[in-house]
């Protein structure tokens, strides 16, 4: 499974990139607003930090303006993946951009039927929002299972399942077990995945025993 970092905070992306865990980055208008920075500048800076896809979302909702915005975003760097909503106009934009060689991330997916449409439109990634389904008492992982099952029937489809709205480490594990291609994960959740009390306990014991030897490596 590939890991994308779901943030627009440059310092968080840089820290995680140094671990070798970052295969890409996803952003959205809410994350850009939270960063307090200029949208285009942030996207350009992120693209310099990572080699993988960097999702940059259009702001418009109509096809002509989305297409114009998408083309502008795609010019920022070769690894920009233009993010569009799963609407009729969004899929028109997806088709036009993908046919011109631009990666497209179709977002706000909440059903397997929608995922089928996005794949037909040439999406590079489909982003089902599992956390938001959980919020309304629906098991978001059931959607991931359905999409993975459908896509597996058609191996010629290029669309990757990008699990979004990840809230905790179990979401990541469940998505990996179901065979999702990518999980886009907030930095805090990735750091939580490191944590286990036995790891901390074992390291403390090793450190204490080493100190008792009175030796040094350097």
Tracing tokens 């938001």 back to the chain, one arrives at 132
Distance CA 57, CA 74 (A): 11
Residue tagged active-site, from 34, 72, 83, 92: 83
**How buried is residue 14: exposed, middle or buried, by Cβ count under 10 Å (0-12/13-18/19+)?**
middle
d(CA 30, CA 64): 23
Residue 111 CB contacts under 8 Å (≥ 6 apart), including other chains:
143
Whether residue 201 lies in the annotated active site: no
Please give the Cα distance from 152 to 182 (Å, whole number): 15
Q: What is the secondary structure of 185-211 as a DSSP string?
A: E-HHHHHHTT--HHHHHHHHHHHHHHH
- CA gap 45, 65 in Å, rounded: 24
How far, CA to CA in Å, does 73 sit from each of 8, 55, 156?
Answer: 15, 10, 28
Residues taking part in catalysis: 83
């Amino acid at each position: 499974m590939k890991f994308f970092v779901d943030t627009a905070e440059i310092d968080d992306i840089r820290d995680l990139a140094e671990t070798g865990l970052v295969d890409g980055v996803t952003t959205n208008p809410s994350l850009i607003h939270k960063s307090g920075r200029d949208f285009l500048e942030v996207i350009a800076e992120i693209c310099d930090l990572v080699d993988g896809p960097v999702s940059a979302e259009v702001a418009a909702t109509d096809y002509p303006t989305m297409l114009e915005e998408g083309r502008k975003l795609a010019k920022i760097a070769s690894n920009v993946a233009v993010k569009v909503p799963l609407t009729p106009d969004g899929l028109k934009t997806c088709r036009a951009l993908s046919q011109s060689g631009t990666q497209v991330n179709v977002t706000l997916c909440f059903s397997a039927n929608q995922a089928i449409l996005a794949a037909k439109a040439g999406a590079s990634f489909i982003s089902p929002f599992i956390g938001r389904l959980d919020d309304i008492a629906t098991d978001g992982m059931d959607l991931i299972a359905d999409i993975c099952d459908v896509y597996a029937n058609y191996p010629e489809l290029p669309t990757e399942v990008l699990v979004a709205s990840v809230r905790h480490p179990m979401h990541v594990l469940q998505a990996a077990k179901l065979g999702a291609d990518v999980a886009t994960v907030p930095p805090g959740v990735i750091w939580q995945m490191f944590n286990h009390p036995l790891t901390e306990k074992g390291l403390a014991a090793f450190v204490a025993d080493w100190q008792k030897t009175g030796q040094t490596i350097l």
